[in-house]
Amino acid sequence: MENSSFLQFEQKVKKDPYANFLGIKLDKVEKGYARVSMVIKEDFCNFLGYIHGGVIFSLADQAFAAASNSRGVVSLALQMSISYIRAPSVGDTLIAEAKEEHVGSKIGLYQIKVMNSSNQLIAEAQGIVYRKQK
Amino acid sequence: MENSSFLQFEQKVKKDPYANFLGIKLDKVEKGYARVSMVIKEDFCNFLGYIHGGVIFSLADQAFAAASNSRGVVSLALQMSISYIRAPSVGDTLIAEAKEEHVGSKIGLYQIKVMNSSNQLIAEAQGIVYRKQK
Amino acid sequence: MENSSFLQFEQKVKKDPYANFLGIKLDKVEKGYARVSMVIKEDFCNFLGYIHGGVIFSLADQAFAAASNSRGVVSLALQMSISYIRAPSVGDTLIAEAKEEHVGSKIGLYQIKVMNSSNQLIAEAQGIVYRKQK
Amino acid sequence: MENSSFLQFEQKVKKDPYANFLGIKLDKVEKGYARVSMVIKEDFCNFLGYIHGGVIFSLADQAFAAASNSRGVVSLALQMSISYIRAPSVGDTLIAEAKEEHVGSKIGLYQIKVMNSSNQLIAEAQGIVYRKQK
């Protein structure tokens, strides 16, 4: 992508409806990399009183989508695996970083880490995308 | 669980804060099984215009949590893998069903399918829980 | 595939070099389905004295490859997730069954179960393939 | 582990029956880290003529087992997810490295990369273990 279209891409990611619904912010996006963050609200608990796995996954997925679409090719998630390490708390700020491990003509592979504001590992994920041919 | 405590469990799941935030309903829960559903809203789109992976995962995760905690033992997700098959549309009702594949003293394994209202497969997931000793 | 080419496919799977190296037999293959089996040898243990995860995975993977290639389209594994439930023993016969959950123009999704001869669940896996265009 | 018991552990890993059956060598093991390697033989092909997924997984799994058991606590694989990036060739030497991402009282998380001798990514995996209490 040219610089102007990269800026357009960044603006588009910032307007992501579901990310805004949850309060996920795009902190940084580069080619093959993205970092997003969110504050954990009361609404994000599950029936056991822990933060819902779907919230943590959603944050990781937003970093994954931003990183994998950052090269100007529409990239759709095929598969994602997530391992949960530590339960975050209401009020915590969580940060998810996605890094490109591989990008080929059809497939891209990304690793995503979710940390809390004390830099403790909350969850770690691995995802693959299918890159649509134009 | 006794019948009375199972009813209490069911009520607790129905009050899940994040499930209510997204509009996820508990349709049915039995020992080792749960079915949940939700209507896809405009807010659930991502920056590409598709339904966000985090939404589909959250629905699957809610079925997984309800099924795996249905036996009176607190069960925490360790890992979940999801494969995306078909993109759902705004207005669709999605249904997620979780089935117990195995339950042991420490570990439980569940398979979760997400379908749309035309009974088409949207996503399929596999998750394992750690069962806390009392 | 025509009947004659399906028979050729079946013969090809039966000559799989690595499957023969391990002693994996093809019990049955149909379109979208395969069942394979193997006897667990002393050589298949790991340094802890358990059966090596790589052995159990290899059996599951052989069922997955046979099922996913059974429709006459070369299908390459993109991703596989495996959960281990129970350790098998030396001398056991393990059986792996792969079932098609979805097949589209580019992607196929399969579920694979590994059982022992007492019909106990040993491991369960989920795999996706990329279907090569001719 | 004391130095003497770490040496005993290293010797035990080097005698792993299945690793020896496949020709997997332990190159290096430290607390929370392991590197193993193998030469790809003709026997390791599948019926399509590619290197069998079970071979690549077995190498990754051996690095995972060595790294996760390196702290003197018996650690059993619960789950592993692998993504395949590039097909290796007969005669290639493959190297798998496992790194600890997290270790807690009950659960450990590891990331494993499989590379060829040209340092190209062949596969990447993520695995979790259950750490047995003594």
Cβ-count burial C71-102 (b if 16+ within 10 Å, e if not): bebebbbbbbbbbbbebbeeebebbbbbbbbb
Is the CB of C107 inside 8 Å of chain A's CB atoms? yes
pLDDT digits (tens, 9 = 90+) for B18-71: 999 999 999 999 999 999 999 999 999 999 999 999 999 999 999 999 999 999
Q: How far is B6 from chain A (nearest CA, A)?
A: 14
Give the nearest partner residue to C77 out of D13, D19, D84, using CB atoms.
D84
Domain boundaries, chain A: 3-131
pLDDT of residue D14: 98
Nearest CA in chain C to D79: C83
Is the CB of D18 inside 8 Å of chain C's CB atoms? yes
> Letter for the amino acid at A34?
A
Is the CB of B105 inside 8 Å of chain C's CB atoms? no
Q: Are D108 and D102 in contact (CB under 8 A)?
A: yes
Cβ within 8 Å of residue A4, ≥6 positions away: none
Q: Are B80 and A81 in contact (CB under 8 A)?
A: yes
pLDDT digits (tens, 9 = 90+) for C3-31: 889 999 999 999 999 999 999 999 999 99
Q: Are C85 and C122 in contact (CB under 8 A)?
A: yes
Residue D47 is given by DSSP the state T
Q: How far is B117 from chain A (nearest CA, A)?
A: 22
pLDDT digits (tens, 9 = 90+) for D79-122: 999 999 999 999 999 999 999 999 999 999 999 999 999 999 99
D17: three-class secondary structure by DSSP: helix
pLDDT of residue C4: 85
- Write the CA distances from A100 to A107, C96, D21, integer angstroms: 11, 34, 35
Name residues 60-89 of chain A within 8 A of C (Cβ): 78-79, 81
Q: Are C83 and B109 in contact (CB under 8 A)?
A: yes
A28: three-class secondary structure by DSSP: strand
Smallest CA-to-CA distance from C19 within D52, D41, A23 is with D52
- What pTM was estimated for this model as a whole? 0.96
Give the nearest partner residue to C81 out of A78, A81, A106, using CB atoms.
A81
- CB contact under 8 Å between C83 and B109, yes or no, is yes
pLDDT of residue C79: 98
pLDDT of residue D133: 79
- In DSSP terms, B28 is beta-bridged to B35
Q: Token digits for B62?
A: 């809610």
Domain B3-131 in this protein, CATH class: alpha beta
Give the nearest partner residue to A81 out of D101, D102, D126, using CB atoms.
D126
Name residues 20-49 of chain A within 8 A of D (Cβ): none
Q: For the packed helices A53-68 and B53-68, what is the interaxial angle rounded to 10 degrees?
A: 150
Residue B67 is given by DSSP the state H
Has residue B134 got a pLDDT over 70?
Answer: no
- CB contact under 8 Å between D85 and A109, yes or no, is yes
The parts of chain C modelled with pLDDT lower than 50 are none
Give the nearest partner residue to A126 out of D102, D121, D126, using CB atoms.
D126
For residue B15, report the phi and psi dihedrals to the nearest 5 degrees.
Answer: -95, 5
Contacts of C128 in chain B (CB under 8 A): 83
pLDDT digits (tens, 9 = 90+) for A67-120: 999 999 999 999 999 999 999 999 999 999 999 999 999 999 999 999 999 999
Q: How far is D16 from chain C (nearest CA, A)?
A: 4
